[in-house]
Amino acid sequence: MTPDARLSHIQQTLDAISPGWPFLQAHIEQQIAEQTAQLINQENEQTRGRIKALAGLLALPEVLVQEREAIQTALAQQAAEQ
């Protein structure tokens, strides 16, 4: 995927998740809290994995914004060098 195509894909993804993100974020945070309580009561690698996966999902918008900024910076530097 070209950098421009990736930028477009990132923006489309952010646009798609933005309207419902506050609701999804609250649900993910609730799930993390429940899974953490379960992990405290009983050490379990599956529960630990679910928490890690949920945390990754919770960080998704921020990760996409960071990736978009990095691509934009790289493209701007590339354009300045030409």
Residue range 21-70, pLDDT digits in tens:
999 999 999 999 999 999 988 989 999 999 999 999 999 999 999 999 99
Q: What is the mean pLDDT of residues 8-32?
A: 97
CA-wise closest residue to 32 among 17, 18, 19, 49: 49
User: How is the chain split into domains, by residue range?
Assistant: 3-81
Instruction: Please give the pLDDT value at position 82.
Output: 84
Instruction: Please give the pLDDT value at position 28.
Output: 98
CA distances from 18 to 3, 13, 58, 82 (A): 22, 8, 13, 36
Confidence (pTM): 0.85
Question: Rounded distance, CA 54 to CA 27, Å?
Answer: 10
7 and 72 Cβ atoms separated by less than 8 Å: yes
Instruction: Please give the pLDDT value at position 60.
Output: 97
